A and B are shown apart, each in its own frame.
Chain A
Amino acid sequence: MSTNDTTATRRGKAPAGERVADWADGRLGIYSLAKTNMRKIFPDHWSFMLGEVCLYSFIIIILTGVYLTLFFHPSMNEVEYHGSYIPLQGQMMSEAFNSTMHISFDVRGGLLIRQIHHWAALIFLAGMFVHMMRVFFTGAFRKPREVNWLFGFLLLVLGMFTGFTGYSLPDDLLSGTGVRFMEGAILSVPIVGTYLSMFLFGGEFPGGDFVARFYSIHILLLPGIMLGLLVGHLILVFYHKHTQFAGPGRTNNNVVGMPLLPVYMAKAGGFFFLVFGVIAAIAAIASINPIWAMGPYRPDMVSTGAQPDWYMGFSEGLIRVMPGWEINLWGHTLVLGVFIPLVIFPLVLVAIAVYPFVEAWVTGDRREHHILDRPRNAPTRTAFGAAWVSWYFVLMIGGGNDLWATHFHLSINAITWFVRVGFFVVPVLVFIATKRMCLGLQRRDKDKVLHGRESGIIKRLPHGEFIEVHEPLSQDALHTLTAHEQYKPLEIGPTTDDNGVERKVKGSEKLRAKLSEAYFGEESQIAKPTVEEYKEITSGHGHH
């Protein structure tokens, strides 16, 4: 430690900051960590900050959630209400509801914190959804990021269930109806349903246990797993490095952007407070889950407009539009009207989760991809994603069919039928339309590359002809528009070998070739302009 010695001899003691850093480095090894990570480069794009929105709202949820646990009593013992809210005076309710009323009306800042917690949860889930769509439509899930895609997917699913258990805790009439809905879904499972329900609720619904059980799940089990996944998610982002959009100077082997320190630390720190500010402002402006208006849960009561929070809306839609089929056999009932939606519910989610693996199998591409696709350049993927979103949205319409009916003066039965048909038809139509749009945009790009940008200037030639002047694109723009690579459809190859002996072609291989044709065939992508084409057209000026 010669430097230490020299500083010591020169000025007596090193500055305090340096000494603290030295002390920490000796124990934590922060110098080498900082050396590799402080200058880590991140590319700049607003859509790369969607994940940050999720991270920050998650932190806000944890902070406000801790405050709420200080006052919440996860118990279903019955008590009489004697708080500040007049229209519930003397009503019997569970301690859970009573303590939530107490938080809302009698704890300092309680209602604001409750509303921040709940709004942040809705925004957290919405943020995850949009973040996932960003990753999906830009192809950021490709190798090496498939595992991180799954981590993110699990975070979304766990977030949904953490949200659901939290929504159930106040034991109000709305959430109680939601729990009853869940109990019905569990009961519909053949053979084991009844046992599962009895096990979960500690006997007949609603029993006296579920709030305490949901509480452990809501504040400990699920957030614990989520925190672990979140850390893993971020470590992988660091390890893989961030993806970037194509552009001049950007390759698959570099990252063009700004360093973590100081630029991104300052930006991220500031962004955290902006996110907190926006959520707090919303919580201060708008009411959410006004349990006092809903009243305490009693199994003999129900209200119209009983919906879950938005992220569970598609499951509500599945139940609402499903015909009430049931089969009675030997004294047992199989409630298909509930069981089928229960089976479709995970399938809707899994459909999007497994997509990266399907695509990887179809392309057979084993290379790493760090340059993002523009959605138009992957028409089949984009069309699939759009179809999935439309599918999800159609189910959300089903989940809110009563409000669509009252607010747009429609018949609820007509909406239900629309959703029943739309469940099958809308994704197909959206798929076709999206693919056409992507191809159209590809053609436009090609046109721009070959003929330049339409300048809007009309020129009259000496012989009287009018032409529009096209401005050639800059070299940067040309690069960006042609940087993507295009796959060739997979070919099975000859089915007979040189000697005319038939080769066995596996069914999966045939399917793969068919899918590959659908993905990358002539119908599914516009061949990007080649250098020759470009030269040929640009050399002959004036010919269009």
Chain B
Amino acid sequence: MAALVVLLLALACTGGLYAAFAPASKAQADETAQSLAIDEGKKLFSVGCASCHGTGGQGTSDGPSLVGVGSAAVDFQVGTGRMPAQQPGAQVPRKKVVYTQAEIDQLAAYISSLGAGPSVPTKAQYGPEGADIAKGGELFRTNCAQCHNFTGKGGALTHGKFAPDLEGVDPKHIYEAMQTGPQNMPSFPDTTLSEQNKKDIIAYLHAVNGDDTESPGGLELGGLGPVSEGLFAWIFGLGALIAVAVWVAARTAKAKKS
């Protein structure tokens, strides 16, 4: 009998202690904006992403795990229209964005709740204030030009993959790409390229491949270097000269026929 009493007491004690110290259950959690966003994000995720990335973002054979990629990766991939992917292929290209920025933020909140990762940068981090354009150019040529070309016009990678043209890309997305290394791109975390470095690179790109970039020499011909120049020289240079030669040859001094 005593043993039974002791057992019940012990059970009551542990139960009471548990009830006293256990964390509040999710069901009746605080309704902060953050948790709401996560909830909404999870819903969006289940509909739009889970078929490839798994119901909990753990990844499947069709898509990588999203645990620990951070909100920056989500904001980049979904914000540039790359995700949701349209079809499998060498690389998922930039396309029309299907989610609103608010939905993207909710998805980002959900994904970042799965594990710690780089978060979406603030305007102060990628804005042009205090950036050194020339330094950015040097960094770009050292780290980025081998795939993206001198001024970010893009280039080819193996097996149909490619480094895209950076013209017209939102500075925030450039920052996030450097931070997270999407698809075939290596990542450049702050330990490799500091926040200031990233700011410089973005400012350089804006200067040489932005909407208001001037080309002092005239038509840029794609900014691709000698291949497009050679094509232009052949077609418009030599083409025009041959046309002129034909014109001159056709207008000769002819002996008068009487």
Contacts and interface: CB of A to CB of B under 8 A. Distances in A.
Interface stretch (A66-74, A196-204, A407-415, A533-541): A407-415
B7 interface: no
A115 B227 CA distance: 16
Nearest to A307: B226
Interface stretch (B9-17, B39-47, B74-82, B237-245): B237-245
Interface stretch (A281-289, A336-344, A355-363, A372-380): A281-289
A88 B137 contact: yes
B23 interface: no
Contacts of B252: 44, 258, 263, 267
A413 B215 CA distance: 33
A271 B133 CA distance: 46
A130 interface: yes
Interface string B121-154: 0000000000001100110011001111111011
B220 A287 contact: yes
Interface stretch (A31-39, A118-126, A434-442, A505-513): A118-126
A292 B216 contact: yes
A270 B238 CA distance: 17
Nearest to A411: B160
A87 B216 contact: no
B156 to A, nearest CB: 4
Contacts of A111: 216-217
Given A88-B137, A275-B241, A301-B145, A405 B233 contact: no
Contact of B240 (A115, A278, A286): A278
Nearest to B209: A293
A295 to B, nearest CB: 5
Contact of B232 (A284, A286, A293, A294): A286
B232 to A, nearest CB: 6
A296 to B, nearest CB: 9
A86 B132 CA distance: 10
Given A119-B233, A304-B156, A406 B162 contact: yes
Contact of B156 (A115, A300, A405): A405
A290 B149 CA distance: 13
A271 B251 CA distance: 12
Given A173-B141, A402-B155, A90 B229 contact: no
A251 B144 CA distance: 65
Contacts of B253: 258, 263
B18 to A, nearest CB: 61
Contacts, number: 209
A126 B233 contact: yes
A508 to B, nearest CB: 41
Nearest to B253: A263
Nearest to B143: A301
A307 B156 CA distance: 13
Contacts of B145: 173, 301-304
Given A402-B156, A411-B159, A411-B160, A282 B217 contact: no
Interface in B218-258: 218-221, 223-234, 236-238, 240-242, 244-246, 248-250, 252-253
Contact of A274 (B163, B219, B234, B244): B244
Contact of B226 (A89, A127, A308): A308
A452 to B, nearest CB: 26
Contacts of B208: 87, 293
B185 interface: no
A304 to B, nearest CB: 3
Interface residues of B, number: 60
A11 interface: no
A75 to B, nearest CB: 21
Interface string B165-186: 0000000000000000000000
A80 to B, nearest CB: 10
A157 interface: no
Contact of B207 (A87, A278, A282, A286): A87
B134 A89 contact: yes
A508 B160 CA distance: 50
Contact of A304 (B146, B204, B240, B249): B146
Contact of B150 (A89, A263, A284, A303): A303
Contacts of B234: 126, 310
B215 A278 contact: no
Interface in A396-420: 399-403, 405-406, 409-414
B40 to A, nearest CB: 37
B8 interface: no
Contact of A282 (B150, B220, B237): B237
Nearest to A313: B230
A90 B134 contact: yes
B250 A46 contact: yes
A399 B236 CA distance: 21
A53 B243 CA distance: 12
A287 B48 CA distance: 46
A181 interface: no
Contacts of A409: 160
A303 B149 contact: yes
Interface string B67-90: 000000000000000000000001
A115 B217 contact: yes
B157 A412 contact: yes
B219 A285 contact: yes
Nearest to B90: A411
B158 interface: yes
B156 A49 contact: no
A278 B157 CA distance: 37
A511 B146 CA distance: 51
A212 interface: no
Contact of A301 (B134, B141, B217, B220): B141
A219 interface: no
A78 to B, nearest CB: 14
A304 B227 contact: no
B241 A278 contact: yes
A279 interface: yes
Nearest to A415: B156
A306 interface: yes
Which 5 pairs show the lowest CB-CB distances between chains A and B?
Answer: A310-B230, A287-B217, A304-B155, A122-B233, A46-B249
9 contacts: A46-B245, A87-B134, A90-B134, A271-B248, A286-B232, A295-B137, A300-B142, A305-B149, A409-B160
